[in-house]
C-alpha cells in the first residue's frame, strides 16, 4: 500500500511548513489527487489518519479533490479525457495514449492555527 508512504510525505510537508511558518496545529489538509495517479482515496484517508496520529495534524480533516485525467493520443493527435492510465482513446480506440495530466498528487492547502 503506497498510500502509507504518500501520507508520510504529506506529514513531512506539514512539519516543514510548521517550522517555517510557525503554526502549531493543522485543522484541515486539502489534497489534489489525479485520477490517473494510482492513489486510492479511501486508502489514503485510512493511512492519513494513522500517520497523523501524535503529530500536529492529529484529528485534521482531510479533503480530497480528484482531478480528471487527460492524455495525448498519437493516432488522433488530440488531447483526450482518460479514466484509466492504460486505457484506449475514446475517439479512435488506439492504445497509443500518453497521459499528460491527472497523474499528480499535491498538498493544495493547509488550514492551520
User: Region 67-88: what's the mean pLDDT?
Assistant: 94
Q: What is the pTM of this model?
A: 0.86
- Whether 78 is in a domain gets the answer no
Question: Looking at the domain assignment, is residue 92 inside a domain?
Answer: no
Instruction: Judge whether 84 lies within some domain.
Output: no
Which CATH number is 14's domain given? 3.30.2320.50
d(CA 75, CA 86): 15
Q: Assess if residue 17 is contained within a domain.
A: yes
Q: Does residue 19 fall inside a structural domain?
A: yes
Strand-pairing partners, residue 18, are: none
* Predicted local distance difference test score (pLDDT) of residue 1: 58
C-alpha–C-alpha distance, residues 2 and 4, integer Å: 5
**Structural domain for 43, as ranges:** 3-68+102-112
Buried b (16+ CB within 10 A) or exposed e, 53-71: eeebbeebebebeebebbb
Q: What is the pLDDT of residues 1-55, one digit of tens each?
A: 589 999 999 999 999 999 999 999 999 999 999 999 999 999 999 999 999 999 9
Amino acid at each position: 500500500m503506497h498510500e502509507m508512504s504518500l501520507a508520510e510525505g504529506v506529514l513531512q510537508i506539514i512539519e516543514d511548513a510548521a517550522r517555517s511558518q510557525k503554526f502549531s496545529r493543522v485543522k484541515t489538509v486539502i489534497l489534489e489527487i489525479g485520477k490517473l495517479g494510482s492513489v486510492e482515496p479511501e486508502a489514503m484517508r485510512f493511512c492519513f489518519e494513522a500517520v497523523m496520529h501524535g503529530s500536529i495534524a492529529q484529528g485534521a480533516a482531510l479533503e480530497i479533490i480528484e482531478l480528471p485525467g487527460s492524455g495525448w493520443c498519437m493516432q488522433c493527435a488530440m488531447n483526450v479525457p482518460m479514466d484509466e492510465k492504460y486505457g484506449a482513446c475514446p475517439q479512435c480506440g488506439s492504445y497509443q495514449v500518453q497521459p499528460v495530466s491527472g497523474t499528480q498528487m499535491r498538498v493544495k492547502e493547509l488550514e492551520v492555527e
